[in-house]
Amino acid sequence: MPFPNPATVSIGLKKAAHVGIAVSDLDRSVAFYQALLGAEPVVRDENMHGAGFAQSQGLPTTKLRYATFNLDNLGIDLIQFQEPVGDAAQVAANRPGSMHLCFHVDDVRAVYDRMSEAGFEFLGQPYTFASGEVEPPAAVGTAVAYFNDPDGTNLEIIAPKGGFARSE
């Protein structure tokens, strides 16, 4: 599929509304994200369906359950498709099409320790970008740690420094 030429087209989207995560068991995922975020879902619907909605997603039919959590700057929609039920994605950090959701924290080690004590499992130890490992060196000092949700969605905590830090 050809894509528009960025030299001739600039849509200019600037603000994200939410990220949608397909899950296999809404109740299990809601419990996981409640523990992670320390909040209840702001919306929960047990019977979203309709031909128009299905068609908008390129599906023949759609019946789903969902829950929405609101962060200060982004919504997280957890979506369990009951019709049609999809196959589990083969996600990994290096697989094209895989994505990750990153949470900003002030101190990765402190949050990592607290989460580990609470039973969250990480993919590895926290890591801080060092001089000579990234070019340009804008990320030096940025700390990260990665973990997965119950369906394998890649999640990250980050304490950004330098070029990775965003002004609010």
Q: What is the pLDDT of residues 138-153, one digit of tens each?
A: 788 999 999 999 999 9
Q: What is the pLDDT of residue 56?
A: 87
Q: Around Cβ 96, how many Cβ atoms within 10 Å?
A: 4
Tokens of 162: 């330098």
Range of 22's domain?
18-83
* pTM of the model as a whole: 0.86
pLDDT tens per residue, range 82-133: 988 888 888 777 777 778 999 999 999 999 999 999 999 999 999 998 888 7
Distances (CA, A) of 115 to 82, 89, 127, 147, 166: 31, 25, 16, 10, 24
Structure tokens belonging to residue 101: 């959701």
Same domain, residue pair 69 and 110: no
Q: Which two tokens stand for residue 118?
A: 């609470």
pLDDT at 79: 94
Distance, CA of 14 to CA of 19 (rounded, Å):
15
Burial class (CB in 10 A: 0-12, 13-18, 19+), 64: buried
Looking at the predicted structure, is the pLDDT value of residue 168 above 70?
A: no
Residue 85 has what DSSP assignment?
A: P
Residue 94 placed within a domain: no
Whether residue 137 has pLDDT greater than 80: no
User: Does residue 32 lie within any of the structural domains?
Assistant: yes
User: Which pLDDT score is estimated for 108?
Assistant: 96
Residue 122 lies in a domain: yes
Q: Is residue 41 part of a domain?
A: yes
Domain count, the chain: 2
Sheet holding 63-70, edge to edge: 18-22, 75-83, 63-70, 43-49
Tens-digit pLDDT profile for residues 6-49: 888 888 888 889 999 999 999 999 999 999 999 999 999 888 88
Name the residue with higher pLDDT: 106 or 168. 106
Residues 37, 72: one domain? yes
The one-character DSSP state at 13 is -
Q: What is the pLDDT of residue 22?
A: 93
In the listed set 83, 116, 132, which residue is the last one of a domain according to the structure? Answer: 83
Predicted local distance difference test score (pLDDT) of residue 136: 66
